[in-house]
Amino acid sequence: MAQVNRRVMPGFRLSLGFTLVYLAVLVGVPLVACAVTAGQLPPEQFREAALSPRAQNAYVLTFTTALAAAVISAILGTLIAWVLVRYDFPLKRFFDAIVDLPFALPTAVAGLVFSNLYVPNGWLGQFLVPLGIELAYSRGAIVLVMVFIGFPFVVRTLQPVLESLDAESEEAAHLLGAGRWQTFWRVILPAILPSILTGFVLAFARALGEYGSVVFVSSNIPNKTEIAAVLVVNRLEEFKYVEATAVAVVLLFSSFVMLGLVNLLERWSRRWDR
């Protein structure tokens, strides 16, 4: 339908040419510069820089906190999307709108606030710290801000899918004698699982590269609470460009893997569309 003869519709060369040049200059050149810089290093030196004990600790911390945050985001996001689509309650539009706030709020503000809420005399810390839950400047705080920036991805990918579920298959399951749990596990969940996974991967990918909010809430101690993105900046500030680039290449590689995964998942979730 949208396919139009290039001789009839104007602007093909101009728009495509501009798009390609813009992308090549703004995205292509920096990526190539990064790849060339990393490629110029002798392999042993690169390996040493990318896999130093400090870097390894940062990867493990980044991976585990991002994974924990993505799992929490997936569960919480599914619950919020479910409630927003299926139930009616007062101020529903308001609650629906504020799900997007983490997208709009600068990460530095999120970091500032979360670093302040959970200290012993903070709004939430005053209740949690006496219970032995000390989130401030810990790994728990890193997970918390990652959930904050991650859960909207799950809600927003899942919401349209939940809305488009046809009531008929649920009615059919019900008529055939399935209980509510059975209907959920056997009928609803298989239909929404690809979207939950897509949201999960988006939240995970975003958390892997997050810097702005984490740098506020974490104590950023090397080998303990220093995530990979913070390590890149710290190395840069020490003028250790080789180490910074090596860690950045690892981060870059992981984001490419995530992007591929999201594309695969989206194809899977559309498998019954035709």
**Which of the residues 141 through 180 are near other proteins (CB under 8 A)?**
147-148, 151, 167, 170-171, 174-175, 177, 180
Q: For other proteins, give the closer residue by CB, 189 or 259.
A: 259
Largest interatomic CA distance in the chain: 73
How far CA 112 is from CA of 31, 58, 116, in Å, comes to 31, 22, 6
Please tell me the count of residues contacting other proteins according to CB under 8 A.
92
Tell me which DSSP letter residue 105 carries.
S
Torsion angles phi and psi, residue 258, rounded to 5: -60, -45
Site for other proteins in 70-99 (CB under 8 A): 76, 79-80, 82-84, 86-87, 89, 95, 97-99
| Residue 216 makes contact with other proteins by CB under 8 A | yes
Least distance to other proteins from the beta carbon of 212, Å?
A: 3
Site for other proteins in 231-250 (CB under 8 A): 232-233, 236, 241, 244-245, 248
How far CA 79 is from CA of 14, 70, 72, 73, 239, in Å, comes to 46, 14, 11, 10, 46
Considering only the stretches 42-50, 130-138, 190-198, 203-211, report the one whose residues sit in contact with other proteins under the rule CB under 8 A.
Answer: 203-211
| Residue 27 makes contact with other proteins by CB under 8 A | yes
Torsion angles phi and psi, residue 137, rounded to 5: 60, 15
| Residue 133 makes contact with other proteins by CB under 8 A | no
Torsion sign (Cα): 6, 11, 17, 21: negative
Q: For other proteins, give the closer residue by CB, 11 or 120.
A: 11
